[in-house]
Structure 1
């Protein structure tokens, strides 16, 4: 075969390939269809369960069987995605209307995952069977080939209500994401009926029926006035609070009881909430907490926070709203596949899309039913007519040599080759004009059908068929008749599966929390060589001074209202509030400095740690490995940001020393190759923090500054270890800045 080489621009090919990939993820995996509110994996799982006969009134089947069958037939993207979808569709705390009835451990609201699929069982819920899958046998939707064209699967399920609103959806695609909150089934059905009665209805009028989202976890939506804009545009932020009740506790104390949580708190965020509340007490943000207990069970959420007698309960609850996720935000982005393309839709657009889909589904449904009734009518009329001339029919059958001869006589009146008892019978037989289907039915008719009661039942059945034909034709010919059929079905669904609203919709003022300022006092900051930081009071430090100084890399006194400054080799300055550092006993471990700052031990290492108070009072000297140095006024580092550049570095350079200048007189630089240079600090100019500085020492080859030492008046010069021997730095003679230095003998 001749090869055909196509020359194309590589960037264009990559762009096209990426766009194709992105669209396949958007359409085929991540986003729900606006018509049935399902993603492909959800639709395929439900259809597979329907095909396997795992109905709501039949026994449960192993989840592994369902997942394996779905993956093998319809969704070849791995078993975890299928099982995850199955689990979510069964969790009543995530879905407004669960679609799958799970048996076994399917996880819980506190974030515990479901058991492995080999341990759990599932079956369809009744609502899924009746409102999602019941009409698939009536040619209501198109069936398309599966991935290997060995099976057929529905392109969409004939869902009878806007499932996209009732159950909501969340998904991340390439370059876009969807986040639709769940709503109350009864309210959604009422809104759909209102739209069907008047298609010019506004979003504001629809919201008389749909008050807002109805989260399965309950809670309180506090920005009611913003909901109209959200539902008109399809985007916005819904603020949700947990429900808090106040109860009397033991010994005159007060219990703050959380009985409902914000929807975004589902899962591991409950544990984080408890940790955040405990942290408020540990960090002295509040002194009112006596105890915290999580008494949640299968019956519901119950988190109890016991407060002291004299606690300001209202201020404490407001603190929970401000400082924890008891008040949270649900970001709304109502993005779905409509008309084969992703589209951000408002409330009215979603309802319109579903109503149009209902008309299409019902048109196909009643067209199919009409065709079936007309076929039944044709056969019934043939059987009734045959019963009226049953003697002639029997004579034809007895006189025919085979089935085809008898059928030809019944359909075309051909009597050749048939033996008749009477000439009149032959004349009457030649006048028979049954249709093909009627003739087949007559030939297959059993003798018991000739009983009088059976004939009467056949006539009654024919009358019922004629009534159905008239009804179906009326529905198909009049839009208002079809609308009434759809609304009747919606009423039946609402009656069977509707429930009261769980989420309260209000306009509430923003929580106002008055943070009590801690009494300013001196504390001692301690950080060990592993980077664990903590603070203790000065009395505790004095009692343990020897151990503290020997075990800690950095020890200094600071104010509990101040900040600690961390300088790193990359030239960054990280600031940490002293209030964020654990304060407690001397033997407490503390927390890694990484956890309470933007410092990352993977990318940089600490050069110096000091208090911001010291920096404000003194000047700071910087020395780099390429021997660049400068002095900066410490006030320049009084910044509000958690991370800023403390100095400017040349390419390939890094800081080796940052020191606060108090009593130092001379500086001594030591290089990797063993050169020393001592000179007065007065030779180093003061510059801004954004400056590179001046050269302190001439370096040759790949040599670089390794250590920095200082001399102080009235104090002996440091003695260091040099070439595995003790070396007194007083032996170094004072020189000039920007000279090569000396290489001493030891």
Structure 2
């Protein structure tokens, strides 16, 4: 054991100093000093009192502000003024601790019911507040309920640190502040961490305990099911809460409040509107970015903090296409502060001793305190009213004998003699006699006599009421219960935190594939109105059973969800598009519709005057692509598409030429078909067209007469029952203003011809008709739509190959196959275009 010599000097009576050396045991000195320090931290700084839920510094702030008159109806004052008053009179532990406590009591994200009304920058969950010289403060309305009736001998006072002032040992606390606002603190050898609760729920439980003192924990939990956090969010799992309410210790998990929304036309995202308690948005944003950079979190394309003072918290986490938002959200809960654990440790001071308390004990301590406050307040008020009644009774006696009283006073030598003579003449007490002498003559009128009679009656009634409260425990409890109900009505707010029952353990890490959309087979569809979409699976789309579709198809390509397709444009370009970016059509729609698709312009950038003519597969082992141009050129493209380019040419066009059709060629037995503006149709076998590389310009497909051009090109399976639709009109009419004459004929009536020939006539023009406006060939039934995609009825009977057409009732913008019977569709397992029976 080591010894330490402590040298002390004590001045003697004379001028010489005598040195004394005292031997002290180091172990005993350290033990004593540490215990003194620990005691000071536990009782004077870190732990709240179970009665009012306040630490000493918080209690001193509220008391000082109350004494300074900083009520809610007064103006704000500088926070530094409050801090200086508290530090100078009551709390000599430094201004930083005082200002930190003041700031926390003003933060709505820290306190469920703030006690300070702050003006200025009082910080955020991520940022510190401004300095005390910049902020202002006053008591909040709820704080007035904490200090109410403090001047009515409701609580004990003690001397301050230097004995020149007094301070309350506890606040009257008109509501259970410890449960409502919670507490956190680290002492020496112990700590406290208490969750905030809803004021209305806590008051309801306290009133139930007042009414039924033998209430069980289960009874009280019917009113207080769990914490209610200032920042809202969701609490997952209530087992830990039950443990905390029973034994004072437990844990629960907090989750952010999130919703999966369509944050852009092409992307879904996770929108966060509430975060766990004590978690700020900047902390979440920083963690997510770190995880994305480290490649530990996948599927996030962008992150924006759109929070403001009007909408509140709003974090938008944009999800990459191909990832399941719900699975990404589970990863965010697992890896980021969007899910946090709160450990409840209900340690508070009870009768000056630290204790771990459950819900029932916390409520019982508060109820006992409040009963004592109301009892002392009632006794104080009764005593004050009795004293006032005593004075009023003496004054009434003086008024009844006013002339004699004046004579006695005037005939007395001094006030002492007058007091003695009044006491002897009318049997008054010394206090009553002195009060009569101090009363101005203007109070001794007949009107004041009536007022004193009414006051006397009122005082007697109030004394009787207060006596009844003090003499009846039931009356006392009712008063406390009614006052609690009024506080809850005045300051209560709806619950913010959602409670969810769960079995417990956090979700384990998800398999990587669970985050991504499965690479299932699907069909990619392109409609006549320029919409792109994909189906939920690769099964053939159903026919509409005679009902009108919303739109008609230009192309349908087999692919997979995480695959790619190429968009073919009129300028001979092919542009890659990710299939996963496309919207998914419902598995079954009645009637089938592409109205849920997105415009192709959202996925590809087109040049001025450039249009999309079709789509094709980018699989090098897949079906080849057949192209036809307005000048009659045909080309079969070798599928050697570059893997490192998103935009490339698939045909070398001559000046002034454009691609009018693109079709996947699933078999060389299919026919390539041209239909021209002068109503000529040419079909020939695809086998006679040699495949060429991408830069090649193709070969002659159809011979055109002067001024004519190709208006439609495609591939048709001759083994299927197909139809040819042609619509004739005038070349001088404005586009979209004429209905035209339509003819539907059997594709089999058109004989096959050689390549580079003129073909056969497809429709005979009537008077006023000199050009084909629209044409199409493929498996029936054929469908026509207007410019808005609405169906236009077509005649059911078939016309002769070279016959004339029937007049339409509405203008037609596009003609094509119905869903499930598109030309150029990828073949199924039998090499046939998928279609259902008529």
- Alignment partners' CA distance in 2, 1:375 and 1:285: 77
Match in the other structure for 1:198: 212
Q: Does 1:350 align with 2:359?
A: no
Superposed CA RMSD? 1.8
Deviation per CA, 1:355-407, whole angstroms, max 9, x where unpaired?
11112112211111111111011111111111111111122122222211211
Q: Would the aligned equivalents of 2:116 and 2:138 in 1 still touch at CA under 8 Å?
A: yes
- Alignment partners' CA distance in 2, 1:248 and 1:291: 14
- Alignment partners' CA distance in 1, 2:155 and 2:508: 54
> Equivalent of 2:194, from 172, 180, 195?
180
Deviation per CA, 1:266-310, whole angstroms, max 9, x where unpaired?
4xxx32321222233333344421210011122421100111233
Q: TM-score, length-normalised on structure 2?
A: 0.58
- Alignment partners' CA distance in 1, 2:454 and 2:442: 17
Structure 2 SS opposite 1:456: helix
> Equivalent of 1:47, from 42, 63, 81?
63
Q: Would the aligned equivalents of 1:315 and 1:513 in 2 still touch at CA under 8 Å?
A: no
Deviation per CA, 1:99-131, whole angstroms, max 9, x where unpaired?
00001111123x1111111111100011112x1
> Equivalent of 1:378, from 366, 390, 395?
390
Match in the other structure for 1:303: 315
Match in the other structure for 1:314: 326
> Equivalent of 2:155, from 141, 144, 153?
141
Q: Would the aligned equivalents of 1:291 and 1:305 in 2 still touch at CA under 8 Å?
A: yes
> Equivalent of 1:294, from 299, 305, 308?
305
- Alignment partners' CA distance in 2, 1:11 and 1:119: 48
- Alignment partners' CA distance in 2, 1:4 and 1:405: 66
Match in the other structure for 1:706: none
Matches within 5 A, 1:62-73: 62-73=78-89
Match in the other structure for 1:21: 37
- Alignment partners' CA distance in 1, 2:276 and 2:165: 43
Higher Cα Rg, which structure: 2
Match in the other structure for 1:325: 337
Cα distance change of structure 1 residues 517 and 256 upon mapping to structure 2, 3 Å threshold: closer
Compare the two structures and name the one with the higher helix fraction.
1
Match in the other structure for 2:433: 439
Matches within 5 A, 1:78-477: 78-109=94-125, 111-129=126-144, 131-266=145-280, 270-298=281-309, 299-413=311-425, 432-477=426-471
Q: Would the aligned equivalents of 1:264 and 1:330 in 2 still touch at CA under 8 Å?
A: no
Could you tell me how far 1:6 is from its partner in structure 2?
Answer: 7.1
Q: Would the aligned equivalents of 1:203 and 1:228 in 2 still touch at CA under 8 Å?
A: no
Question: Which deviates more, 212-221 or 278-287?
Answer: 278-287
- Alignment partners' CA distance in 2, 1:393 and 1:251: 95
Could you tell me how far 1:13 is from its partner in structure 2?
Answer: 2.6
Deviation per CA, 1:550-589, whole angstroms, max 9, x where unpaired?
xxxxxxxxxxxxxxxxxxxxxxxxxxxxxxxxxxxxxxxx
Match in the other structure for 1:511: 507
Deviation per CA, 1:419-443, whole angstroms, max 9, x where unpaired?
xxxxxxxxxxxxx211111111211
Matches within 5 A, 1:567-716: none
- Alignment partners' CA distance in 2, 1:411 and 1:250: 92
Aligned length: 495
Q: Would the aligned equivalents of 2:269 and 2:325 in 1 still touch at CA under 8 Å?
A: no
- Alignment partners' CA distance in 2, 1:460 and 1:476: 24
Q: Which runs of 5+ in 1 are unaligned?
A: 414-431, 519-746
> Equivalent of 1:500, from 494, 517, 525?
494
- Alignment partners' CA distance in 1, 2:356 and 2:129: 32
Could you tell me how far 1:512 is from its partner in structure 2?
Answer: 5.1
Deviation per CA, 1:118-157, whole angstroms, max 9, x where unpaired?
111100011112x111211111111111111111111111
- Alignment partners' CA distance in 2, 1:404 and 1:319: 89
Q: TM-score, length-normalised on structure 1?
A: 0.65
Match in the other structure for 2:28: 12
Matches within 5 A, 1:719-730: none
Match in the other structure for 1:676: none
- Alignment partners' CA distance in 2, 1:4 and 1:335: 45
Q: Would the aligned equivalents of 2:79 and 2:132 in 1 still touch at CA under 8 Å?
A: yes
Could you tell me how far 1:449 is from its partner in structure 2?
Answer: 2.6
Q: Would the aligned equivalents of 1:264 and 1:329 in 2 still touch at CA under 8 Å?
A: no
Cα distance change of structure 1 residues 456 and 223 upon mapping to structure 2, 3 Å threshold: same
- Alignment partners' CA distance in 2, 1:279 and 1:244: 21
Q: Would the aligned equivalents of 2:298 and 2:328 in 1 still touch at CA under 8 Å?
A: no
Deviation per CA, 1:249-276, whole angstroms, max 9, x where unpaired?
223311100111011314xxx3232122
Match in the other structure for 2:545: none
Deviation per CA, 1:51-104, whole angstroms, max 9, x where unpaired?
111111111111111111111111111111000001000000100110000011
Structure 1 SS opposite 2:332: helix
